[in-house]
Chain A
Amino acid sequence: MIDPSAASVVPTTDPSTYLPAQPITGDLTDQMLETDFWTDDLVASAGIPIVDVPFVTVGGGIGSFVTVDYLRIAGVPTSQMRVLSTLDFPWQTYEYLTRVSQVPRPERIRSDSASRPDNIWGFPSYGFAEGVKKFNPKVLWQLFSEPIFADYYTPKAGNVFEQLERESKRINYDEMLVKGLVRIVRRRYGGGYFTILTPPAGASATKRVAFRSQYVHLAVGYPGLKFLPELQRYRTENNDYQHIVNAYEAHEHVYERLVQKPSTVLVRGGGIVASRILQRLMDDREKFGAQTNIVHLFRTYITGTNDGYGNESDPRPGGGRTRVTMRRRGGNGWAYQGFNYPKSVWGGQLKAQVRNLEGEERAELYKRMGGTNTPWRKLWQKQMNQGRREGWYNCVVGTVDAMEPSGDRIVNHVRTAHGVVPIEVDFVIDCTGLEADIAEHRLLKDLLEHGGASRNPVGRLNVDRSFELIGTGSGNGAMYASGATTLGGYFPGVDTFLGLQVAAQEIYLDLNKRGFCKKIGPVRSTVQWWKWLAGSTP
């Protein structure tokens, strides 16, 4: 459900299904909310039932899935773990976000062939399986020659979901899933944690249920995806939710209108989501004869080689131009990069380098290799070139000062290098992917205030090299976090399938040292891989 006036564009669970109208027993008390360490008695006296389980993971998205997948392979039975989530299946949020941002099941996602959240080994890779199963020499050639002579191979969304479904059945994921919204996690007096869950109405006799566990893992995804503030203001002030949309909310109606009526669309942003939206707009021109004019607004226009600080001659600390060993291709506004970080952050040089950096130095390297970017893809280049030639795709560089309605249309006053220019359009599609601060997530805010958690050099949750949340230790218990909330740590590629698996591996290893699971050595690993291949439970 999307609350149209909400600042977040990700559908949130309807709170009314979680907060019963009539007061019932077993709720959090003021005393509990004020206490950083809870005793068993404190929880029991509030009338909240306590469930004992050694390990809980909060979120139930891809991050939770790959973590329990690792632990299942490391020999942990389903009875020892619970996944606390509002989702019915792990790829639900991901599928929603990709579908609305124009990656339906038949389209290809962004990550590479060996980023397989359903397979901890990444072998066989998606591409290899696709090439061999249906004997497709084109795919095999692409895998061999990428990225030199071909675009990077990336799997189809639908295939990723089908494989996730298979793995989820194999590890009996559903036996571990408990539905509900996690309200709070607090340390337990005497070690471990209490995780307070609000189950859906009718699922429990009490309003809350407490999970008492030695280990907690948090994979809550994005704390929130936001609109640009000026767009949000325009929407609320003019009560217009039709003409201004975010790429992460359902906006099919825009494309339907464009096919019926020649219109102008302003696309904002220079990342992969902008690329996808442009592809859809251009595909519709080609397939359905839409007469869409596209104005593409870049805040930073990349003209050639670049790094996270911008173009060659843009200012950067220490002065100078981009380093010869640290420069990325770019042009026509875009910075080109296969994946959301340089590939070696997932296993090579950059991963090793960042792992050894602290504070300022780490933040600097993040900045240098960061910046908005998108892959260079043959199809996209062809479409944009055609648009430029035929005059229906135009770029503007600047920021929006103000927006005002003009009949059915919207005038954007864009501040450019040549002064403020009015740009009148029928629709605005926001592809900037602005992420909310972690403190906007209630659970995380509470951890910062009462749980001992802190922020890293880029402002997200501070985790150590094994993804344990620094400062949250509780006796013999440990709390871990992975995904977008931990960006800025010793490992940069956190918010991706492979990044979530890298984190899961570190977490599994730490839990192994603490005696919770078996070690996945060469023999166990090989045996387990054969089981994966055969589809039998780990």
Chain B
Amino acid sequence: MLPTLNGRIQTRIFMLVVFGGLITLVLTPMLPGDPDYRTTYLILAAVLVLGIVWELVYHVIQQFRWEKDWPTMFGLITALNEGALVWLLLDLELVPGIDYPSDGVPFWAFFIDFTVIWLVVWIWTNGPMRVPFIRWRFFGGRIV
């Protein structure tokens, strides 16, 4: 990927709204621990909001790269730091708006939903996205 800051943020919002939204819609009823839609969508929103902050961090890191690129691999492994942070906040019951069950948000529900969304978004960003949007890859990931 060759993102600009603006492009990063736009792509992030687009991907999480479209793919995150659809996948969460389909997966929620099947997830272990029976979380409700309110919980899964609030978690998705948390991933999105924190993600925008993460993009700022990545953008700073990118400045130290001569090529000003963002290697394909980085797009996948950043799931680790981002996932860990969201889970930590969920565990500490710091994500607002959720009715936390007495034994906490079910970990596997979070893990499965988060991983599936991340993988689909990562694959889509690294190829198929270029098919409907021919200007996207030449404009740093900007959609508008």
- Which residues of A line the B interface, CB within 8 A? 114, 120-125, 128, 143-149, 324-329, 337-338, 342-344, 346-352, 502, 505, 520, 522-523, 525-526, 529
Q: Give Cα A146–Cα B126 distance, bound, in whole angstroms.
A: 13
- Determine whether the beta carbon of A121 is less than 8 Å from that of B2: no
B4 in the interface, Cβ–Cβ < 8 Å?
yes
Contact partners of B138 in chain A: CB under 8 A = 346-347, 351, 502, 505
Q: Mark B1-35, 1 if CB is under 8 A from A, else 0.
A: 11110010000000000000000000000000000
- Determine whether the beta carbon of A144 is less than 8 Å from that of B73: yes
Contact partners of B55 in chain A: CB under 8 A = none
Q: Give Cα A522–Cα B139 distance, bound, in whole angstroms.
A: 16
CB distance from B107 to the nearest CB of A (A): 27
Known: A144-B72, A145-B73. A120 touches B134 (CB 8 A): yes
- Determine whether the beta carbon of A349 is less than 8 Å from that of B134: no
One of B3, B76, B131, B134 near A348 (C-beta < 8 A)? B3
Q: List 26 A-B contacts (CB under 8 A).
A: A114-B137, A121-B131, A122-B130, A123-B127, A123-B130, A123-B131, A125-B127, A145-B73, A148-B71, A324-B64, A327-B66, A328-B66, A338-B67, A343-B67, A346-B138, A347-B137, A348-B1, A348-B68, A348-B70, A349-B68, A349-B140, A520-B134, A522-B133, A523-B132, A525-B134, A526-B131
One of B2, B68, B134 near A505 (C-beta < 8 A)? B134
CB distance from A292 to the nearest CB of B (A): 34
- Determine whether the beta carbon of A525 is less than 8 Å from that of B127: no
CB distance from A373 to the nearest CB of B (A): 10
Q: Give Cα A525–Cα B129 distance, bound, in whole angstroms.
A: 11
- Determine whether the beta carbon of A121 is less than 8 Å from that of B71: no
Known: A123-B128, A143-B72, A351-B138. A344 touches B133 (CB 8 A): no
Q: Give Cα A324–Cα B133 distance, bound, in whole angstroms.
A: 34
Contact partners of B68 in chain A: CB under 8 A = 342-344, 348-350
Known: A343-B2, A343-B67. A525 touches B140 (CB 8 A): no
- Determine whether the beta carbon of A344 is less than 8 Å from that of B72: no
Interface of B, helix, strand, loop or mixed by DSSP = loop
Q: Known contacts A123-B128, A344-B69, A348-B70; can you find 15 more A-B pairs with CB under 8 A?
A: A121-B130, A123-B127, A147-B71, A342-B66, A343-B2, A349-B2, A349-B62, A351-B139, A352-B4, A352-B140, A523-B132, A525-B131, A525-B133, A526-B132, A529-B131
Contact partners of A327 in chain B: CB under 8 A = 66
- Determine whether the beta carbon of A505 is less than 8 Å from that of B135: yes
B102 in the interface, Cβ–Cβ < 8 Å?
no
Contact partners of B64 in chain A: CB under 8 A = 324-325
Q: Give Cα A363–Cα B91 distance, bound, in whole angstroms.
A: 53
Q: Give Cα A122–Cα B127 distance, bound, in whole angstroms.
A: 8
- Which residues of B line the A interface, CB within 8 A? 1-4, 7, 62-64, 66-73, 76, 127-128, 130-135, 137-140
CB distance from A307 to the nearest CB of B (A): 8
Contact partners of A147 in chain B: CB under 8 A = 67, 71
- Determine whether the beta carbon of B140 is less than 8 Å from that of A326: no
Residue of A nearest to B137 (CB): A347
- Determine whether the beta carbon of A348 is less than 8 Å from that of B132: no
One of A124, A146, A502 near B127 (C-beta < 8 A)? A124
- Determine whether the beta carbon of B66 is less than 8 Å from that of A128: no
Residue of B nearest to A347 (CB): B2
CB distance from A164 to the nearest CB of B (A): 19
CB distance from A222 to the nearest CB of B (A): 24
CB distance from A338 to the nearest CB of B (A): 7
Most buried by B among A145, A344, A350, A523: A344
Contact partners of A146 in chain B: CB under 8 A = 71-72
Q: Give Cα A333–Cα B36 distance, bound, in whole angstroms.
A: 62
CB distance from B61 to the nearest CB of A (A): 11
Residue of A nearest to B6 (CB): A352
CB distance from A136 to the nearest CB of B (A): 17
Contact partners of B135 in chain A: CB under 8 A = 505
Contact partners of B139 in chain A: CB under 8 A = 347, 351-352
